[in-house]
Structure formats: structure tokens, C-alpha cells
Amino acid sequence: MFTGFLQHLWQRLFKPKEELVSFTEVFEHFQELLQDQQKVMEIIADLGEKSGGDYIFDRKYLTDTVNELHARMLHLVKDLNLISFNRYPDLYSALDRIFLPLEGEMRGRLSLSEEMPLVVSLEKTPRDHPELVGGKAAALGEIIQRLHLPVPPGFVITTRAHRRFLEHNHLEERIHALLSAWLSGQADRAQTSRQIQYSILAGVIPQEVAREIRREAQARPFWAVRSSAFGEDGELSFAGLHESILQVPAAGVLEAVKRVWASLYSPEALTYRRQVGLLGEEAAMAVLCQEVIASRASGVVHSLNLEAPESDALVVYAYPGLGRMVMEGRASLDRFVVERRQPFHLKVKDIALKESYRRVAPGGGEEEVLVSPEERERPALADEDIQTLAGWSRILERYFKRPQETEWALDEKGRIWILQSRRLTSPQSLEAPDICDSCSTYPVLIKDQGAVAHAGVGAGPVFVVSSDQDLERFPEGAVLVTRYTAPWLAPVVPKAVAIVAERGSPAGHLATISREFRVPTLVGVENAVALLPAGEDITVDTHNRLIYQGRVAELLRYELIQSTAFEDALEFRLLRRLLKRIAPLNLTEPQDQNFTPEGCRSVHDVIRFVHEKAVQELMDLPRFLKRFKEARVCTLVSEVPIGLKIWDLGGGVDPEARGTQITVAQIRSLPLQALWEGVTLPGVWSTEPVAVDFKGMMSSLTRTLGNGFGAPDYRGINLAVVTETYLNLHLKLGYHYNLIDVRMEADPNRNHIYFRFVGGVTDLTRRSRRARLLADILSKYHFKVDIKGDLVLARILHLPQEEMRRRLIALGQLVGFTRQLDMQLKSDEDVGHFLEAFVQRLEPAGDSPSPQGGKDGTEQVKNSHPGR
């Protein structure tokens, strides 16, 4: 109580003097703020686009971009505080919280930071941090989190934990000294290895690490404890060099972890690391603990038949019992050669003669058992399991972009598990075909069309998706061809080998999702649905923006056997890690508890917060009016009765106009003229009451009640701040809240339309449906659209005046059209119908809403500003 009173007193005494800042000044800051915000959104979109692999960028680009973002964000926060009389000083610490780790990422020191876990479960391994969890665990993490294939549960003791262990026991100096002695010839290899390994085994695992390991380990009785080393670019193979300990009881995990760490210094490992020049490097190893599968059969799949790489076949190897026999190469295995394409036709079936196999012994541990004579020639794997493995092998190869060697196990209940998957290395280097000539023999269906959202090559049958029902029938391994780029396509993206969309931009939603799942994607390919034959094979090559008829086998093979996939390059991983702290939007509802500076977790969140608050400041009209008494505010007299207040900052209204009311004809502001033209087109503004069904009505009631307190009340205030070439419009129609900010000058480079739409009666599902519809319509007009829940953010930049005008008329129509639309969107299919209705009703016949790419300037303008 008392502190509350003091605080109150303090605030009263030191309340900033609002009168000191004139409105014109406030408005200038607001405009600057909008510009910075737009620029930041462009940078974010740009970074996203760069992560798709079509661009060549370097580290310097990343450093420059992060620096620019930081500068812009500081400016933005400063402007908000100027507008709001310093109400949000906490935003500066929010920026620190976001940018310090970003800069840490740039310096490459983040894996050591407190933020990173010591021990983490496989389902939660952070993406793009192989240096933290090692290559093996990183791949398994992606298989679980992205591909949703079955992997036995497990956890990782990270490299950070390893470093902590070395520090705790002062081992780094000791190991360094022992290694130096070996290198200078003062000690032999065996002796060096023994001494280092002994020191490690005698070390004590620090409490905080041990505690976390024990907590995870008690979940199951036995564990397989393996190394998960990380070689830069995944190009170094430590396969078999480090220890793997199977059947470790939960209580023995700590000791086993030390043994795996010690195996970094086995005599063989020492020689190998010396040969590849890694001895001087800091050796940090993650350790993976996984549940042991008591397998009925086990084996590996090679996604490419190394004996005949051009044969378009994969090979499944299998043997009964535990995997040790397979891994150690002690037995000859069943070998199934399968076609790489669905339905994975079995081409060769070599069944090995089995004499004995290993299984889990009744009391723990393993035992070797003889195979009964009648079982000797029985295949270790049923045909349907071979099919399953073949399918998975292709999914893994498609995601990791390189041929895969995948270890699997079949448990007693008949379930198959993936134990690990790594790049398949060929004993002899595979010959890259000369593809210039061979590709030219395939007919080209589409050439030089669209933009690259994610780079790569993919081939499969064309499947056109135009409705929700199509989504359910979408087959694994098809090429997704679609008119739309709407987020509802997301569920099929992971199944697609490639995507071709008629609309959209590399900064849009579909593009973001396709990058997440690494699916080669072209967007903005005109007439793709008509040009690509449904059901027939095509090959999509984004590198040359070519779509071939048929499967270009040479090209597919060429892609597979190249060195590193760009997705795995250091710079791309770094970019994705940066994006994770920049792009996600977590704050949506201003009413939410966490809609605070403390709640901001990304750059995008700060943008959202600043924008909301800036608009709020500006929308507080009573305070506004008090501040700026000489403001010329008048009311628009129009057939559309919303009582729009117009605030002219100069040149926006006919100077002859007198009194407090003006007519439409007296508007001089170009953007307001255009917008109003759309609003007042015949049939746009329905004056009839809109039918509301019961569910919608109830929901509207609760929302109204819930909104009664706390939320600022804008009801009835519709305000346009204008100049001749500028419009900032706030419309509160029913429960929808529109913000439209436009600059429309002779120089296209200065122009923008920014549109924001949120709120509305009825439940969230319907509001989201409406958001989707809006997004679809806006995309047709080449807006860049972001939707999150029921919030729609759209923007378009750098268009010439006439193009701006066209879009503003459309926006005016849209504002009228969607006034109470959410009431009518009862099912997801309605979205499609309304989209058609909008386009048909509001577009004069023959005038396509999206003229050929580039004609209206959008793509061209973008291209003329490479990067920034």
C-alpha cells in the first residue's frame, strides 16, 4: 500500500510535461517510427529469403544486417519513447536481451553461454546447434522434430557439460601437456593415451551436470551410451573411433559417459586426429544416451545402391537380433534391393544363411543364440517392413539432401525404430555426370518463371492442391502444385519433394514453411496449374528455374553426390539461428498478460509492441486534441456513414473548404481519395444488417463484456491524418480495427501501403478464417502478408502512383467487404467461396488482380535492390 502511494506520488511529481511536445513533432516521430518499422520488416523478410539458398551471401552481410537491425530498433524505441513521454524505458533492456545473444551468435561463442543446456532430451535438442549436441544427436533431433519418424527416446550430455567437466577437474592443461609430450616424441602413443584416459576416468563430474544426467537416466533401466562428435560441415567421419557402450544400467550412466569422453583419446583416435590436423583443436564431445531396443531384427538402409549408383535403387540390409552382428560385420546379411520410387518395388532378395544371432539375455546383457535349422533361410524382415524402411530412407535423404546410411531396429512388438542416420560415404568417389548435355534432352515445361523460395532439385508426380480435401489425399513424394500460398497448405509441405506455387513471394508464408522442411520451392510461377500435367512426373530445378517433363535422373544424382548441402553450411546454420531470435512473432493480442516489454522475445515482438503502443498513443484522441489545439479537424460527409474525422497536416483538404464538415469532393489527399473511391463503390458498403447466427452472437456478447475494462476504448473514433501524399487512417468498424498507412509520391521508392487488421466479433476460429481470407485477397494484389491468429499485417512497397491507387481502391473495397465477414465464414470452405466472390464482384471482367510478375513493378523493384 505504502509503496504504492509513494510510487504514485513519484509519478505525479516527475510526470513528463506532455504539453512541451507539439503534435506535429509527435507525428513526425510517428512517421519515422513507421518507416523504421517498415525497413526492419523488410530486413527480416530479406534474411528469411537469404536462408532459402538462392543467394550467395557472406558473414559480412550477416554482421552488417544485425548491426543495421540494432541501430534501427534503437531508433524505433527512442521514437516511441518520444511520442509516449518516456513510458517505455524497459524496451531498451528488451533490446539488450535480444541483441546481446545475437551478437554472441555472430562471434560464435554462444554454445558456451548459460543459455545452452548441459543436458537436454532428444525431443528438445535445439536446432542448428550440432557443435552443442554433436552430429549424431543433432540429426536424431531433426528426425524427431521435423520428420516425426520414430526414434528411441534419449537425452544428450552436451559439449557444454563436457567443457564444464574439463574445467572442474583442471584437465585441459594436463591433457595439453601430455599431448605436447607425445608430439615432441617424449612419450609414446600408448602411454599418452593411457595417461589422458586415466585422468578423465578419475575426474569428478560436477554436481549440476551429474544431477541432470541422473534425472534423465532414471527414466529407464538400461541405456545405450554413445559418442556424438561434431566435425565441421559433417565432413569428418569419426565413425567407430569412439566408444559406444550398450546395456548400461541407469546407475552406471555417469561412469559410461566418462568412458565415452575418454575414448576421444584412445590410441586410434589420437592417430586419426593427428592425421586430420585436429589435435590442437579443443576436443569437446557430446554424449548421447538412448533407450536400448531389444530388437528382433536390425540392420541398415543405404538410400543409394553403392554397387550401382546409377541404378536408381536403394538397399536394405537386415539380420535377426541385436545390431552388433550387423555393425561389426560379423555375419553376412539379408540384402534387399528396392526401387527408389514408390511403390518401392523389390528388385533383388538375397537371403543370407544364418547360424547364430545375439539377443538381450534374460538377466540383462547380451547372449549369442544358435539359429534353428528351419529358420536359417528365413528373411529377417517382412516385405511390408522393407517398404516402410524404403519410404523412410527416401524421406531422410530428401531432408538431409545427401544419400543416407540409416541404422534401424525392429522391436518385439513389430515396431521399427530409427537408431541413427548419417551421410552415406562411398568407398570410391562417385562420378559426377556431365549434366549440361544430358539435361538438354528432356523437354522443358516451364523456364525462367517465378522466384526461388528454397533452393534444390526435386522430382515426382504432379499433385494439384486446391482445397482442404486435396490436402488429405496428398501422396508422399509428390510435387505440390498450387494456386495459393496460404498457410493452410502447411501440413503437406513435409511430404512434398518440391513445390510450385502460382503466387507468393520468397518472403511469404509458404516460403518460410518450405525452408523449414527444406523443400525445393518456386513461387510466383504463372499458370503452373495449367502447364504442369497432373499425375505425371516432373523435375523441378530451382538453380536454373527450370521445370522438366519426366525425371531427370542425371540431375537428381548430380545433386545428391555433391559435397555439402548448403543447408548444412556454417553460414546458413548461423543465419537460421539469427532468424530464430529475430523473426518469430510471439506477441499478438495486446490484451494478453505478456504483451509487455518483458514479454518481447524477438525483434518482431518488439516491432509489434512498439507499433501497438505508438498507435495507441496517437489514438488517444482527447489527449491528442488537448495537445494540438490549432489542429484542423473536420468531419467527412459521405454516403458511407462512419463520421470519419479528417486531420489535415497540409494539402490534404481543399483550402477553400470552410466549417467543420467537408465533402468527398473536397478531399485533396491522393491516398484518401483512392481509398474512399473503393469504400463508396456500389455494393461495397452493405447497409443492411448482417445475419448473425447464435454461436457468433454469443461469442460477440462475451467478447464485448470481456473488453469492457482495461482495453482502450476507440469506439466511434475514425480518424484520418492526411497530407496531399500521405494518409494514416484508423478505422474502428464494429469490432474490427484497421490501420492503413500510405505514402504515395511521384518517386515510387518512397511509397508504401501498410495495412493492419485485427479483432472482430465471434470466436477465434472464425476470426482466423477471416484473416486467411484477407491474406488470400491481399496476396492477390502482391501484398506481403503475415497473419498470426486473427492479426493480419500486409505491406507493399515502392509502387508507382497509379499502382498504388489501384491497390487503395481495392483496400477500400476490402474494408467495406469484410466489415462483418467473420459472422458469415462458417466453414473453411467458405473462405474459398468468398475469395472468388470478392474477386468476381469487385474486379471488372478481364482485369486480372495480379498482372504478370514484374509488370506492376513489385518483382522488378525488389530485384533492383539486391540485398538491402
| Cα maximum dimension of the chain | 107
Residues 149, 139: contact at Cβ < 8 Å? no
Q: Tell whether residue 56 is a contact of another protein (CB under 8 A).
A: yes
Task: Write the binding mask 64 to 93 for another protein: x where contact by CB under 8 A, - elsewhere.
Answer: x-----------------------------
Q: Residue 486 and residue 776: Cα distance in Å, rounded?
A: 7
Stretch that binds another protein, among 7-15, 563-571, 766-774, 799-807 (CB under 8 A): 563-571
Residues 189, 271: contact at Cβ < 8 Å? yes
C-beta closer to another protein: residue 56 or 353 = 56
Tell the smallest beta-carbon distance from residue 514 to another protein (Å): 16
User: 198-230: b or e for each residue (b if 16 or more CB lie within 10 Å)?
Assistant: ebbeebebeeebbebbeebbeebebbbbbbbbb
C-beta closer to another protein: residue 116 or 522 = 522
Question: Judged by CB under 8 A, which of 24, 113, 186, 562 binds another protein?
Answer: 562
Tell the smallest beta-carbon distance from residue 50 to another protein (Å): 6
Q: Give one DSSP letter per residue of 611-622, joined into a string.
A: HHHHHHHHH-HH
Q: Tell whether residue 107 is a contact of another protein (CB under 8 A).
A: no
Question: Judged by CB under 8 A, which of 348, 382, 570, 701 binds another protein?
Answer: 570
587-626 residues in contact with another protein (CB under 8 A) are: none
Cell 484518401 found at: 672
Of 615, 868, 625, 587, nearest to 741 (Cα)?
615
Tell the smallest beta-carbon distance from residue 444 to another protein (Å): 16
Q: Residue 359 and residue 367: Cα distance in Å, rounded?
A: 6
Q: Tell whether residue 839 is a contact of another protein (CB under 8 A).
A: no
Q: Tell whether residue 232 is a contact of another protein (CB under 8 A).
A: no
Residue 851, all three cell numbers: 498482372
C-beta closer to another protein: residue 405 or 541 = 541
Q: Tell whether residue 567 is a contact of another protein (CB under 8 A).
A: no
C-beta closer to another protein: residue 305 or 521 = 521
C-beta closer to another protein: residue 384 or 437 = 437
Q: Does residue 530 sit in helix, strand or coil?
A: helix
* CA 266 to each of CA 161, 166, 173, 225, 257: distance values in angstroms, whole numbers, following the listed order: 21, 17, 18, 17, 15
Q: Tell whether residue 277 is a contact of another protein (CB under 8 A).
A: no
Tell the smallest beta-carbon distance from residue 83 to another protein (Å): 34
Stretch that binds another protein, among 50-58, 202-210, 272-280, 645-653 (CB under 8 A): 50-58
Stretch that binds another protein, among 53-61, 522-530, 595-603, 637-645 (CB under 8 A): 53-61
* CA 851 to each of CA 502, 524, 526, 675, 803: distance values in angstroms, whole numbers, following the listed order: 12, 11, 10, 21, 11
Of 279, 230, 287, 229, nearest to 255 (Cα)?
287
Q: Residue 1 and residue 560: Cα distance in Å, rounded?
A: 69
Q: Tell whether residue 55 is a contact of another protein (CB under 8 A).
A: yes
Question: Judged by CB under 8 A, which of 437, 472, 656, 688 binds another protein?
Answer: 437
742-781 residues in contact with another protein (CB under 8 A) are: none
Tell the smallest beta-carbon distance from residue 112 to another protein (Å): 23
Q: Tell whether residue 50 is a contact of another protein (CB under 8 A).
A: yes
Stretch that binds another protein, among 55-63, 249-257, 616-624, 693-701 (CB under 8 A): 55-63
Q: Tell whether residue 558 is a contact of another protein (CB under 8 A).
A: yes
User: 603-629: b or e for each residue (b if 16 or more CB lie within 10 Å)?
Assistant: bbbbbbbbbbbbbebbbbbeebeebbe
Kindly state the helix (H) or strand (E) to which residue 707 belongs, with its residue range.
none
Q: Residue 286 and residue 135: Cα distance in Å, rounded?
A: 9
C-beta closer to another protein: residue 194 or 545 = 545
Question: Judged by CB under 8 A, which of 207, 469, 563, 687 binds another protein?
Answer: 563
Q: Does residue 335 sit in helix, strand or coil?
A: strand
Tell the smallest beta-carbon distance from residue 106 to another protein (Å): 14
Q: Give one DSSP letter per residue of 281-323, joined into a string.
A: S----EEEEEEPP-EEEEEEEESS-TTSGGG-EEEEEEEES-T
Using a 10 angstrom Cβ sphere, with 0-12 exposed, 13-18 middle and 19 or more buried, the burial of residue 636 is buried
Q: Would you state the torsion angle of the CA atoms of residues 417, 419, 420, 425, taken in this order, to the nearest 10 degrees?
A: -90
Question: Judged by CB under 8 A, which of 544, 660, 661, 702 binds another protein?
Answer: 544
Question: Judged by CB under 8 A, which of 97, 335, 359, 543 binds another protein?
Answer: 543
Q: Residue 266 and residue 366: Cα distance in Å, rounded?
A: 25
Tell the smallest beta-carbon distance from residue 436 to another protein (Å): 4
Stretch that binds another protein, among 301-309, 322-330, 566-574, 701-709 (CB under 8 A): 566-574
Tell the smallest beta-carbon distance from residue 54 to another protein (Å): 5
455-494 residues in contact with another protein (CB under 8 A) are: 455
Q: Residue 313 and residue 624: Cα distance in Å, rounded?
A: 72
Stretch that binds another protein, among 340-348, 355-363, 430-438, 836-844 (CB under 8 A): 430-438
Stretch that binds another protein, among 85-93, 291-299, 555-563, 803-811 (CB under 8 A): 555-563
Q: Tell whether residue 61 is a contact of another protein (CB under 8 A).
A: yes
Residues 47, 580: contact at Cβ < 8 Å? no
Q: Tell whether residue 60 is a contact of another protein (CB under 8 A).
A: yes
Tell the smallest beta-carbon distance from residue 538 to another protein (Å): 19
How many residues form the binding site for another protein (CB under 8 A)? Answer: 28
Question: Judged by CB under 8 A, which of 346, 430, 435, 619 binds another protein?
Answer: 435
Question: Judged by CB under 8 A, which of 155, 566, 676, 755 binds another protein?
Answer: 566
Of 478, 524, 528, 468, nearest to 498 (Cα)?
478
Tell the smallest beta-carbon distance from residue 440 to another protein (Å): 9
Q: Tell whether residue 367 is a contact of another protein (CB under 8 A).
A: no
C-beta closer to another protein: residue 112 or 569 = 569
Q: Does residue 453 sit in helix, strand or coil?
A: strand
Tell the smallest beta-carbon distance from residue 420 to another protein (Å): 26
Task: Return the number of other C-beta atoms located less than 10 Å from residue 71's C-beta.
Answer: 11
Question: Judged by CB under 8 A, which of 76, 116, 166, 452 binds another protein?
Answer: 452
Residue 375, all three cell numbers: 529358420
Q: Give one DSSP letter per residue of 775-821, joined into a string.
A: HHHHHHTT-EEEEETTEEEEEEES--HHHHHHHHHHHHHHHHHTTTG
C-beta closer to another protein: residue 558 or 726 = 558
298-337 residues in contact with another protein (CB under 8 A) are: none
Stretch that binds another protein, among 266-274, 378-386, 429-437, 525-533 (CB under 8 A): 429-437
Tell the smallest beta-carbon distance from residue 864 to another protein (Å): 11
Tell the smallest beta-carbon distance from residue 146 to another protein (Å): 23
Q: Residue 344 and residue 347: Cα distance in Å, rounded?
A: 9
Q: Does residue 259 sit in helix, strand or coil?
A: helix
Stretch that binds another protein, among 507-515, 562-570, 677-685, 829-837 (CB under 8 A): 562-570
Residues 508, 780: contact at Cβ < 8 Å? no
Q: Tell whether residue 545 is a contact of another protein (CB under 8 A).
A: yes
Q: Would you state the torsion angle of the CA atoms of residues 304, 308, 312, 313, taken in this order, to the nearest 10 degrees?
A: -60
C-beta closer to another protein: residue 376 or 868 = 868
Q: Residue 861 and residue 751: Cα distance in Å, rounded?
A: 12
Q: Name the residues that contact another protein, by CB under 8 A.
A: 50, 54-61, 64, 435-437, 452, 455, 543-545, 558, 562-564, 566, 569-571, 866-867
